[in-house]
Amino acid sequence: MKMKWEENVRRVVPYVPGEQPEGSRLVKLNTNECPYPASPRVVEALRAVEADSLRLYPDPETGELRQVLADRYRVKKEQVFVGVGSDDVLANAFLAFFNSEKPLLFPDITYSFYDVWAELFGINYERVPLNDELRIVAEDYRRENGGIIFPNPNAPTGIFEELSVVREILEANRDVVVIVDEAYVDFGGVSALPLLEEYDNLLVVQTFSKSRAMAGARIGFAIGNEKLIGYLNDVKFSFNSYTMSRPAIAMGVACVKDDAYFREIVEKVVNTRERTKAELRKLGFSFPDSRANFLFATHERIPAKELFEACRAEQIYVRYFAKERIDNYLRISIGTDEEMDILLDFLREYVANH
Amino acid sequence: MKMKWEENVRRVVPYVPGEQPEGSRLVKLNTNECPYPASPRVVEALRAVEADSLRLYPDPETGELRQVLADRYRVKKEQVFVGVGSDDVLANAFLAFFNSEKPLLFPDITYSFYDVWAELFGINYERVPLNDELRIVAEDYRRENGGIIFPNPNAPTGIFEELSVVREILEANRDVVVIVDEAYVDFGGVSALPLLEEYDNLLVVQTFSKSRAMAGARIGFAIGNEKLIGYLNDVKFSFNSYTMSRPAIAMGVACVKDDAYFREIVEKVVNTRERTKAELRKLGFSFPDSRANFLFATHERIPAKELFEACRAEQIYVRYFAKERIDNYLRISIGTDEEMDILLDFLREYVANH
């Protein structure tokens, strides 16, 4: 029976995150986490959180974390916004910047949270199809719109578009906010951050969940011009003053300070990715040239869904999207070399027998 | 110069949290934090977070924390929602439940975030005046509305309304969601949780930031019937799948399990509050009979603003609201006995000399 109060309930179809199975035997290559632990400095910072400080509210401005990020990316602290993972940053940005009657534009194949946020906040949107090579075409974004967002590298394709493409989109859209979602940029892309000097309508969003191996700590950030960040802060402070816990701030600061470790684990993931590409090709897989920490692979003969289920039965978790245009692809996160060998051994045998 | 993209920016006036001054000499009685540290079990849980787990996403369902809360409050896990402090819980609830054209109702003197959320989400609202004794009058909520929210005890008055008042409001408003914000209930109020069996439109919200001494960990929760919590989850999962970090979940679980410590620190705060009431009365202060961890005090002769500034000059931070009807009150959080003595000594001298 429907209750009367249900009439005023906001009906939404939420984003479905990848499975988070727990267990030690399984090979988890389904949510693009980093296979290496967070920096030892991060763990030290967590252990060092003062017991008595937990009773006190954290700094609502997260000043220290914003300052180390500002130093690291050579911008001012006032240009940095911090949130509970990049999803929190993006949700706040949608709420702050996409209030036009004209449609928000994003690729048809992309991070599947974009349309969820648009639906949640009642934002008009249109999907712009990727071309046949699954590439973003800049001139497709030369049309009336109320804002633009795309990931670079794109997800789940892994394809990185050169900054000339980003610049072309910005150049044609100076009157709306353009968000470049760089969740995966550290694995071989080039950040759009240098374009901030020219474009005051650009917001660059990054995360600690992938290249910084801290998905469990929930930290993301955005960098833009001061005015843009000011508006984003106004919305954030109208939603929740204190989003970042004391342990999260401490861990985030320690992480950014340990740049050597960050570079080391990113390099390892990139090396494993390139080796995995070569091995998968030998088995009849093809994929766009990923610059992310995952591959988006399709097999010449065996349907992706079948492979997904066969892997899962072996406790090897990859991601499959039952969605038009991409329902014959597997998104495979790059794990350790050992994890990739387990996957490759299994696929080698499976492909040989089917 | 105004930029073109600014046209579509959501303009809001954010909530202003209490100052968070840092320093060891100061007496901080301005944001209703607990003066006692979090449970030693909480600190142990923080120290015990596995280093390697930080790279992995947390459980998006926060199942373990919801289960211990369900056990503690004798409800089902499916009746519990967890968020990044009760502000996050309330923001999600506003977004989920208050979508009527009819006005949301809340007291004119109350938590000053309610109108900020209403403005942020474009919710029509009306403030219902407290009576001359600063009490909530149930029959004032017998009017057309799209939802109701009030704290109990109310903030910043500290006044607790008996459950008969809550019941009367619920009884007259079965067709809308009624939120009882119980941030301060543990300090001597009575929770509306038992009313859940009768009212499927009731949502009870509580926090770990006050009585559980964990403001720095960012944990709040809501309890309601399964269907209500289901809708709240849909909105939450449309905003950010992973709001609770691994350390936060671990600390929250440990806190709920250590109920003896929780009772102990609450009792200490209540004892200090009652002693402070007696001392303040001797100095010419009056106040509603607070059942929260703060007093809302006005002096018979000296303006509150003057006292606020005099305290501040002595590094004693209390809260002052330059707002109609309450601009001659100080909100004084209950600290340790030592902290209250510093405040009382200062006020004793100040009152004698002015």
DSSP B32-97: ---SSPPPHHHHHHHHTS-GGGGGSPP-TT-HHHHHHHHHHHTS-GGGEEEESHHHHHHHHHHHHH
Residue B336's pLDDT is what? 97
Indicate the residue of A58, A99, A174 with minimum beta-carbon distance to B216.
A58
A293: closest CA among A151, A95, A156?
A156
Instruction: Name residue A40's amino acid.
Output: P
Q: Is A53 on the interface with B (CB under 8 A)?
A: yes
Residue B174's pLDDT is what? 95
Record the pTM.
0.96
Total Cβ atoms within 10 A of residue A220: 23
Q: Is A336 on the interface with B (CB under 8 A)?
A: no
Token pair in block for residue B166: 């809550």
**Alpha helices by DSSP H, chain B:** 40-47, 63-73, 85-97, 114-121, 163-171, 226-239, 246-257, 259-282, 304-313, 337-353
Distance from chain centroid for Cα A11? 25
Query: In this structure, are residues B109 and B136 in contact, taking their beta carbons and an 8 Å threshold?
Result: no
Does A8 contact B43 at a Cβ distance shorter than 8 Å? no
* Backbone angles phi and psi of B163, in degrees to 5: -60, -20
Does A234 contact B3 at a Cβ distance shorter than 8 Å? no
Q: Is A4 on the interface with B (CB under 8 A)?
A: yes
Distance, in Å, from the CA atom of A48 to the CA atom of A37, rounded to the nearest integer, reads: 18
Distance, in Å, from the CA atom of A99 to the CA atom of A181, rounded to the nearest integer, reads: 19
Total Cβ atoms within 10 A of residue A36: 17
State how far residue B91 is from chain A, nearest Cα, in angstroms.
6
**Which of A57, A113, A149, A236 is the best substitution to test chain B (most B C-beta atoms within 10 A)?**
A57
**Per-residue pLDDT in tens (0 to 9) along chain A, 354 residues:** 678 888 888 889 898 887 778 776 789 999 999 999 999 999 999 999 999 999 999 999 999 999 999 999 999 999 999 999 999 999 999 999 999 999 999 999 999 999 999 999 999 999 999 999 999 999 999 999 999 999 999 999 999 999 999 999 999 999 999 999 999 999 999 999 999 999 999 999 999 999 999 999 999 999 999 999 999 999 999 999 999 999 999 999 999 999 999 999 999 999 999 999 999 999 999 999 999 999 999 999 999 999 999 999 999 999 999 999 999 999 999 999 999 999 999 999 999 999
Distance, in Å, from the CA atom of B349 to the CA atom of B18, rounded to the nearest integer, reads: 26
Indicate the residue of A20, A119, A213 with minimum beta-carbon distance to B55.
A213
Residue A1's pLDDT is what? 67
**Alpha helices by DSSP H, A225-336:** 226-239, 246-257, 259-282, 304-313
A84: closest CA among B192, B239, B33?
B239
ipTM exceeding the 0.85 mark: yes
Q: Is A201 on the interface with B (CB under 8 A)?
A: yes
Residue B275's pLDDT is what? 98
Q: Which residues in A lie closer than 8 A to residue B97 (C-beta atoms)?
A: 5, 8-10
| Low-confidence spans in chain B with pLDDT less than 50 | none
Residue B7's pLDDT is what? 86
Does A117 contact B238 at a Cβ distance shorter than 8 Å? yes
Q: Is B26 on the interface with A (CB under 8 A)?
A: no
**Alpha helices by DSSP H, A48-162:** 63-73, 85-97, 114-120
Q: In which region does residue A164 sit, left (phi positive, over 0), alpha (psi from -120 to 50) or beta (all else)? A: alpha
Distance, in Å, from the CA atom of B220 to the CA atom of B208, rounded to the nearest integer, reads: 6
Chain A's closest residue to B173, CA to CA, is A5
**Domains parsed from chain B with CATH numbers:** 19-37+260-353 (3.90.1150.10), 40-257 (3.40.640.10)
Interface of A with B in 217-256 (CB under 8 A): 217-218, 227, 231, 233-248, 251
Token pair in block for residue A200: 């005051």
Does B237 contact A15 at a Cβ distance shorter than 8 Å? yes
Beta bridge partners of B332: B295
Distance, in Å, from the CA atom of A123 to the CA atom of A117, rounded to the nearest integer, reads: 8
Distance from chain centroid for Cα B287? 19
Crossing angle of helices A40-47 and A246-257, in 10° steps, is: 150
Q: Is B2 on the interface with A (CB under 8 A)?
A: no
Residue A22's pLDDT is what? 74
CB contacts < 8 A, A to B, total 286
> Residue B225: helix, strand or coil by DSSP?
coil
**Alpha helices by DSSP H, B58-203:** 63-73, 85-97, 114-121, 163-171
Beta bridge partners of A297: A330
Distance from chain centroid for Cα B125? 20
Does A37 contact B58 at a Cβ distance shorter than 8 Å? no
What are the pLDDT digits (tens) for A93-110? 999 999 999 999 999 999
> Residue A137: helix, strand or coil by DSSP?
coil
Does A245 contact B56 at a Cβ distance shorter than 8 Å? no
Distance, in Å, from the CA atom of B151 to the CA atom of B182, rounded to the nearest integer, reads: 6
Query: In this structure, are residues B307 and B280 in contact, taking their beta carbons and an 8 Å threshold?
Result: no
Q: b/e map of A185-210 (b: 16 or more CB within 10 Å)?
A: bbbbbebbbebbeebbbbbbbbbbbb
Q: Is B315 on the interface with A (CB under 8 A)?
A: no
Residues 6+ apart with CB under 8 A from A107: A127, A128, A129, A130, A136, A150, A154
Does B54 contact A46 at a Cβ distance shorter than 8 Å? yes
Distance, in Å, from the CA atom of A28 to the CA atom of A311, rounded to the nearest integer, reads: 11
Distance, in Å, from the CA atom of A182 to the CA atom of A173, rounded to the nearest integer, reads: 19
Q: What is the CA radius of gyration of chain A?
A: 21
Indicate the residue of B37, B58, B84 with minimum beta-carbon distance to A52.
B37
Residue A15's pLDDT is what? 87
